[in-house]
Structure 1
Amino acid sequence: MEQPVDPMSTRPTGVGATNEGYVSMETDVKEIRAAVDKLERNQTELMVQLAKKRGLSIAFEGGDENAERGNWTGKLDFFLSCLGCAVGLGNVWRFPYLCYKNGGGAFLIPFLAFLVFSGTPIFMMELSLGQFTSCGPLRCWEFAPGLRGMGVSMVLVSALVAIYYNVLMAWSIWYLFASFTSVLPWSYCGSWSSQVCSSRLSTVNSSCNHLPDVYIDNQTGINGTCWLEKNGTRSLFGIYDVELANSVNYTARSESIEFLNYVSLQDKLGSISNLGPLRWDMSLCLALAWILVCLSLIKGIKSSGKVVYFTALFPYVVMFILLVRGLTLPGASEGVWFLLRPQMHKLREATVWKDAAVQIFYSLSTGGGGLITLASYNRFRTDVVRDTMAVVVSDFFTSILSGVVVFSFLGFLANETGIDLDKVVDSGVSLAFIVYPQVVTKLPVSPLWAILFFLMLVTLGLDSQFTMVETLITAVQDQWPQARKYKALLIISASTVMFLIGLSMCTPGGPELLTIFDDYSGSWNVMALSVLECLAVAWIYGARRFANDIGVMTGPLVCGCVPWRLTKWWWILCWGLISPAFLAVIMVYSWVDFAPSQYAGRELPTWSQARSDHRSAKAVAAEGYAKDFCVDPPTTIDKAATNASIDRSSAAGTVRPAIVPQLYETMVYPL
Structure 2
Amino acid sequence: MTKGNGRVEVDHEAEEFGTDFSKDENEDRGNWSGRLDFLLACLGYAVGLGNVWRFPYLCYKNGGAVFFIPYVIMLVFVGIPIFFMELSLGQFTSSGPLTCWECVPIFKGIGVGMVIVSALVGIYYNMIIAWALFYLAASFTSDLPWVTCDRDWAGPYCATFLTDVDLAGCNGTDFVANTTNGVCYNGSEVYGLWNTTLAKENEIKPVLPSEDYLNGYVLGKSYSTGIGDLGPIRWKLVIALFVAWVIVCATLINGVKSSGKVVYFTALFPYIVLIILLIRGLTLDGYKEGIDFYILKLDWDRLKDSAVWKDAAVQIFFSLSDSWGGLIALASYNRFHNDALRDSLIVAIGNCMTSFFAGFVIFSFLGFLAKDLNTTVDDVAESGVGLAFIVYPAAVIRMPVSTLWAILFFMMLITLGLDSEFALVETVTTAFFDQFPVLRKKKWIFMIVMSVLGFLLGLPLTTNGGAYMLQLMDHYAGGWNVLVIAFCECICIAWFYGFARYKEDIRVMIGNSPCCCVPWDFCWWWWSLMWAGVTPLGVLFILGYSWYDYSPASYGKYLYPEWGDALGWLMTIAVIVGIFSTMIVMCICQCHKGKSLYELIKPSPTWGPALPKHRRLMGAYLSPNQFEIDPWGESGNINARSVEMDDVKLEHGGAHNDAYNEKF
With the shorter chain as reference, the TM-score category is 0.7 to 0.9
Alignment of structure 1 residues 613-624 onto 2, 5 Å: 613-624=569-580
Which position in structure 1 is the counterpart of 2:96? 136
Taking a change above 3 Å as real, the CA distance of residues 384 and 61 of structure 1, as seen in their structure-2 partners, is closer
Residue identity in the other structure for 2:108? R
Alignment of structure 1 residues 28-427 onto 2, 5 Å: 63-192=23-152, 193-204=154-165, 207-208=168-169, 211-219=172-180, 236=190, 238-239=192-193, 243-247=197-201, 250-270=204-224, 271-341=226-296, 342-427=298-383
Q: CA RMSD in A?
A: 2.9
> Contact 1:213–1:233 at 8 Å: present in 2 too?
no
State the alpha-carbon separation in 2 of the partners of residues 639 and 550 from structure 1: 14
- Does the alignment pair 1:512 with 2:472? no
- Does the alignment pair 1:483 with 2:443? no
- Does the alignment pair 1:499 with 2:463? no
Residue identity in the other structure for 1:87? V
Flag the structure with larger Rg. Answer: 1
Residue identity in the other structure for 2:523? T
Residue identity in the other structure for 1:331? G
Taking a change above 3 Å as real, the CA distance of residues 149 and 282 of structure 1, as seen in their structure-2 partners, is same
Match of 1:648 among 616, 622, 627: 622
Select between 370-379 and 185-194 the one with higher mean Cα deviation.
Answer: 185-194
Residue identity in the other structure for 1:585? F
Residue identity in the other structure for 1:288? V
Deviations 1:238-289 (A, max 9, x none): 4398643134564321111111111011112123112111111100000000
Deviations 1:200-228 (A, max 9, x none): 112235833772233223455x7xxxx76
Select between 205-214 and 503-512 the one with higher mean Cα deviation.
Answer: 205-214
Residue identity in the other structure for 2:618? S
State the alpha-carbon separation in 2 of the partners of residues 145 and 344 from structure 1: 46
1:602 Cα deviation (Å)?
1.2
Taking a change above 3 Å as real, the CA distance of residues 556 and 241 of structure 1, as seen in their structure-2 partners, is farther
> Contact 1:136–1:474 at 8 Å: present in 2 too?
yes
Which position in structure 1 is the counterpart of 2:10? none
- Give unpaired runs (5+ residues) of structure 2: 1-18, 591-598, 634-643
TM-score normalised by the chain length of structure 2:
0.86
Which position in structure 1 is the counterpart of 2:638? none
Which position in structure 1 is the counterpart of 2:606? 638
Deviations 1:160-195 (A, max 9, x none): 000000000011101111111111111111232222
TM-score normalised by the chain length of structure 1:
0.85
1:141 is paired with a residue whose SS is: helix
Residue identity in the other structure for 2:141? T
Residue identity in the other structure for 2:177? I
Taking a change above 3 Å as real, the CA distance of residues 453 and 620 of structure 1, as seen in their structure-2 partners, is same
> Contact 1:134–1:657 at 8 Å: present in 2 too?
no
State the alpha-carbon separation in 1 of the partners of residues 132 and 217 from structure 2: 14
Select between 237-246 and 585-594 the one with higher mean Cα deviation.
Answer: 237-246
State the alpha-carbon separation in 2 of the partners of residues 636 and 411 from structure 1: 58
Work out the percentage of aligned pairs sharing the same amino acid.
46
Select between 617-626 and 479-488 the one with higher mean Cα deviation.
Answer: 617-626
1:627 Cα deviation (Å)?
5.1
> Contact 2:104–2:604 at 8 Å: present in 1 too?
no
1:638 is paired with a residue whose SS is: coil
Residue identity in the other structure for 1:513? M
State the alpha-carbon separation in 2 of the partners of residues 477 and 250 from structure 1: 54
- Give unpaired runs (5+ residues) of structure 1: 1-58
1:158 Cα deviation (Å)?
0.5
State the alpha-carbon separation in 2 of the partners of residues 107 and 555 from structure 1: 36
> Contact 2:342–2:514 at 8 Å: present in 1 too?
yes
> Contact 1:133–1:656 at 8 Å: present in 2 too?
no
State the alpha-carbon separation in 2 of the partners of residues 529 and 452 from structure 1: 37
> Contact 1:142–1:653 at 8 Å: present in 2 too?
no
1:198 Cα deviation (Å)?
1.1
Which position in structure 2 is the counterpart of 1:460? 416
Which position in structure 2 is the counterpart of 1:590? 546
Taking a change above 3 Å as real, the CA distance of residues 559 and 242 of structure 1, as seen in their structure-2 partners, is farther
State the alpha-carbon separation in 2 of the partners of residues 449 and 349 from structure 1: 39
